[in-house]
Amino acid sequence: MVTGESIWRAIVLYGANSATYKFAFGATLLEVAATGRHHVTLEELAPRYAELLCQALKRQPRQSTASSSKFLDACRGFNAGELDRDTLHRRTVQLGFSNVIDAFPQLAGSQAPVRYYEDQRKNSANPGLLLRDELSELAQSAHAQDLDAETAARWRLVETAWATGISDAVLTPSLVYDSDTQHLVLQTKHRRKNVTGVVAALSGYQDGRCAYCNQPMPTPGPIVEHVLPWKLLTRSWKGPDVDAIWNLVLSCEPCNRAKWDRAPHETWMPWLEQRNNDLIESRHPLREVLMVQTGATAAIRHATLRLAYQRATESLPAVWTPPTGAHVS
């Protein structure tokens, strides 16, 4: 079902990006729309938009795949005390929106089916952006906080990928789940680095629904679930690391409780395979890590998952069948 919420998630999570402007722009739009505004000028957008990118540059100096950016250089200059705030805002208006306004609502090179604003920059009487009802409804909905967290999580994943060079060469780190911090952890020989919260990182890719019963996630929220049980690690497990992202999904509490220490029925497993393939094919920022964990091609990943499932159910024979109406093949 196409909704304003699902399309926004698709833009943020799957849309192409060569810089992190998209994340700052989306977060700024939601904040403005939440106040009830229906029109905003670039001068009004610039302070918060620039602030988010300045904060990001302090967190991670690389915020683009391009070798240079006049706009990001202005943000760096402000962080270094070389530019005052007014100058930064003027340069943001001049340089910061030139591509992102046109590129943000694009999916696979085409206009997204839901439009959130009208570009009126060339309207001499009232230049800026006309915020459509679809954006206002989204910004004031119960989902707005989740979407904000998912955007932040995606931003951190992109930063991590660029900072470690994952997008340029296949590395050997393992992206594992830290149950104590509820974070994905990029683990190398020398360090463990918290990348982002698991719930925020994965919920958008499930459209806020339980991986098993396909129902909207209820309060108090999703539970991080190991598809092939974590218990396998205590049984001389010979398969791929079950504590890694390829094997993590979000479930509701009833499904989590019912499944307890069991693999799902084999008819459900194509959903996990397709989810992992979707992440890889959408140029997910940690796609190479997923490929290292499960295989470089769809055929290899299918064989890897099939063998892992076989070994898991040999070790833990009892399986669990998801509720009637779930997305099974």
Tell me whether residue 325 is in a domain. Answer: no
| Whether this model's pTM surpasses 0.85 | no
- Structure confidence at residue 85 (pLDDT): 96
Q: What is the mean pLDDT of residues 290-295?
A: 80
Tell me whether residue 327 is in a domain. Answer: no
Tell me whether residue 328 is in a domain. Answer: no
Instruction: Tell me: do 111 and 259 sit in the same domain.
Output: no
Tell me whether residue 52 is in a domain. Answer: yes
Tell me how many degrees the CA angle 91-96-101 measures, rounded to the nearest 5.
145
Instruction: Tell me: do 156 and 286 sit in the same domain.
Output: yes
Instruction: Tell me: do 61 and 93 sit in the same domain.
Output: yes
Residues 6+ apart with CB under 8 A from 30: 135, 138, 139, 144, 147, 148
Checking if the pLDDT of 167 tops 70, the result is no
- Structure confidence at residue 194 (pLDDT): 62
Instruction: Tell me: do 88 and 224 sit in the same domain.
Output: no
- Structure confidence at residue 165 (pLDDT): 61
Tell me whether residue 235 is in a domain. Answer: yes
pLDDT tens for each residue of 33-91: 999 999 999 999 999 999 999 999 999 898 988 888 999 999 999 999 999 999 999 99
Instruction: Tell me: do 131 and 166 sit in the same domain.
Output: no
Instruction: Tell me: do 209 and 287 sit in the same domain.
Output: yes
Above pLDDT 90, what percent of the chain? Answer: 47
The amino acid at 198 = V
- Structure confidence at residue 155 (pLDDT): 86
Domain boundary among the residues 125, 141, 157 is at 141
| Sign of the dihedral defined by the CA atoms of residues 69, 75, 81, 83, in that order | positive
Please give the residue range of the domain that contains residue 309.
Answer: 145-320
Instruction: Tell me: do 93 and 160 sit in the same domain.
Output: no
Instruction: Tell me: do 79 and 159 sit in the same domain.
Output: no
Checking if the pLDDT of 189 tops 90, the result is no
Instruction: Tell me: do 90 and 201 sit in the same domain.
Output: no
Checking if the pLDDT of 30 tops 80, the result is yes
Domain boundary among the residues 141, 171, 186 is at 141
Tell me whether residue 45 is in a domain. Answer: yes
- Structure confidence at residue 211 (pLDDT): 94
- Structure confidence at residue 219 (pLDDT): 67
Checking if the pLDDT of 225 tops 70, the result is yes
Instruction: Tell me: do 124 and 228 sit in the same domain.
Output: no
Instruction: Tell me: do 227 and 266 sit in the same domain.
Output: yes
Tell me whether residue 326 is in a domain. Answer: no
The number of domains in the chain is 2
CA dist., res. 164 & res. 167, Å (int): 8
CA dist., res. 81 & res. 85, Å (int): 9
Instruction: Tell me: do 160 and 132 sit in the same domain.
Output: no
Checking if the pLDDT of 180 tops 50, the result is yes
Highest mean pLDDT pick, 111-115, 182-186, 193-197, 257-261: 257-261
Domain boundary among the residues 114, 141, 168 is at 141
Tell me whether residue 123 is in a domain. Answer: yes
- Average pLDDT of the residues of the chain: 85
**Residue 124, token pair as written in the block:** 């001499």
- Structure confidence at residue 4 (pLDDT): 83
Q: According to the 3-state scheme, what is the secondary structure of the chain?
A: CCCHHHHHHHHHHHCCCCECHHHHHHHHHHHHHHCCCCEECHHHHHHHHHHHHHHHHHHCCCCECCCCCHHHHHHHHHHCCCCCHHHHHHHHHHHHCCCHHHHCCEECCEECCCCCEEECCCCCCCCCEEECHHHHHHHCCCCHHHHHHHHHHHHHHHHHHHHHCCCCCCCCCEEEEECCCCEEEEECCCCEEEEEEHHHHHHHHHCCECCCCCCECCCCCCEEEECCCHHHHHCCCCCCCCCEHHHEEEECHHHHHHHCCCEECCCCHHHHHHHHHHHHHCCCCCHHHHHHHHCCCHHHHHHHHHHHHHHHHHHCCCEECCCCCCCCC
